[in-house]
Amino acid sequence: MLDFIRSLSNHIAQLANVERVKSSDSPFLILSVPAKNIAFHLIDFQTYKRFSAGRNCATFFGNLSNQYEQQQKQLVHVWEDVWLSHLQLIESRIAALLGRFVRYHARLAEVKKITNPALVDFLSKNHLQVPIAGRYKYGLFAKGELLAVASFSAVRPMDRNGLVYNSYELLRFANKSGAVVAGGLSRLLSRFTEEHNPDDIMTYADRDWGSGKAYRQLGFELAGFMEPQMFALNVLTNQRQYSSYRALDSTSENYTVNIFNSGSYKYIKLLKSI
């Protein structure tokens, strides 16, 4: 626990001026970066096990995110297992949130279709969620280097006002770790729209890392909220898996803890009125 808190705190402090937040709302360390209106919630196992004993934590993290959003601030929940298993990626993502990244411009890049193996390989190195294949896959290239990817589902016929319309899901979007492609997602969405003529595109924003501001800037509208998901976390291997409720078993060789994320926002970009 101390190594996690110390190493992550030092990383953030090297990137920006930080303030320790004294809060009765959370037992975990919160580090604020006032210049960026962002705070980092450092969730260590030791504190979590004490805090969650005899308590339902299903809504705790989402409610805390709500408090920060109401103050026009971003709260990032950084779990110890995610830090330990994706150290370089988390360091890079935090640096990007604090304005430390290499900037590329999408207008100078070329959009190309990519294969599922190329997509999954890129996502495994540059995205925190489980890498999955997509029906349609695009990449942004500059001088032969893959800088960003976006993947989409197959068409999903939906009913709207008694009429059938074609909906697609933006499954994954990721920049190369340590980089931001300005206008990258917009270009990838434009190419997909030109080729497949969707009536709408929907996607989800992980509230552990933000509220989906980038989607709103691209014309997506908030359409709903996905409740916090529970995971069974093996604290020996730092592996998570979706799980129905399991009681904490301190005698199990596969020592598991039930943890919850803060939920997701659902966004839809309407491209045709029906």
Instruction: Give the model confidence (pLDDT) of 60-106 as tens digits.
Output: 999 999 999 999 999 999 999 999 999 999 999 999 999 999 999 99
- Same domain? For 151 and 161 the reply is yes
Q: Do 74 and 143 reside in the same domain of the chain?
A: no
pLDDT in tens, 28-50: 999 999 999 999 999 999 999 99
pLDDT given at position 248: 44
Domain match, 133 and 193 both? yes
- The answer to the question of residue 156 being in a domain is yes
Q: Is the pLDDT of residue 243 over 70?
A: no
Please check the confidence at residue 2 and state whether its pLDDT lies above 80: no
Placement of tokens 């980089």 in the chain: 179
Instruction: Supply the pLDDT for residue 274.
Output: 61
Query: In terms of domains, do 134 and 194 share one?
Result: yes
DSSP, residue by residue, 160-172: ETTEEEEEEEEEE
**Could you report the per-residue pLDDT of 177-193, keeping only the tens digit for each?**
999 999 999 999 999 99
Residue 32, token pair as written in the block: 């604020």
* 154 falls within a domain: yes
Residue with the bigger pLDDT between 248 and 194: it is 194
Give 141-173 pLDDT, tens digit per residue.
999 999 999 999 999 998 877 888 899 999 999
Global pTM exceeds 0.85: yes
Query: For residue 252, is pLDDT > 60?
Result: no
Q: Which residue type sits at 218? A: L
Predicted pLDDT of residue 244: 56
CATH, residue 147:
3.40.630.30
| Dist CA 105 CA 191 (whole Å) | 16
Q: Do 70 and 144 belong to one domain?
A: no
Residue 253 counted as domain residue: no
pLDDT at 54: 80
State which residues form the domain around 111: 102-198
Residues 113 and 184 in one domain: yes
Shared domain for 178 and 115, answered yes or no, is yes
Residue with tokens 């949130």: 97
pLDDT on residue 240: 85
Evaluate whether residue 250 is within a structural domain: no
Counting Cα atoms < 13 Å in the Cβ hemisphere of 148 gives 26
Last residue of one domain, picked from the residues 100, 122, 151: 100
Picking from 40, 65, 100, the residue at the C-terminal end of a domain is 100
Domain C-terminal end among 161, 183, 198: 198
Give dist(CA 99, CA 164) in Å, integer: 43
Residue 78 belongs to a domain: yes
Same structural domain, 109 and 166: yes
**What is the tally of structural domains in the chain?**
2
81 plus 26 within the same structural domain:
yes
Q: Decide if 217 is inside a domain.
A: no
pLDDT value, residue 177:
96
- pLDDT interval class at 118 (50, 70, 90): very high
HSE-CB at 114 with a 13 A cutoff on CA atoms is 27
Distance CA 59, CA 8 (A): 25
Q: How long is the chain?
A: 274
Identify the pLDDT of residue 249.
47
DSSP 153: P
In a domain, 177, yes or no: yes
Assigned domain for 203 exists:
no
Report the C-alpha gap between 63 and 135 in whole angstroms. Answer: 35
**Are both 93 and 109 inside the same structural domain?**
no
Asked whether residue 88 falls in the same domain as residue 133, the answer is: no
Tokens of 97: 């949130």
Report the relative pairing of strands 156-160 and 145-152 from DSSP bridges: unpaired
> Cα dihedral angle (93, 94, 97, 99), rounded to 10 degrees?
-100
* % the chain with pLDDT above 90: 82
User: For the chain, what is the total number of helices (H) and then of strands (E)?
Assistant: 8, 17
**Which residues are bridge partners to 233 per DSSP?**
240, 257
Which residues are 266's β-sheet partners?
204, 224
- The pair of structure tokens assigned to 253 is 């060789």
Residue 43, Cα to own-chain centre: how many angstroms?
Answer: 16
Whether 77 and 154 map to the same domain: the answer is no
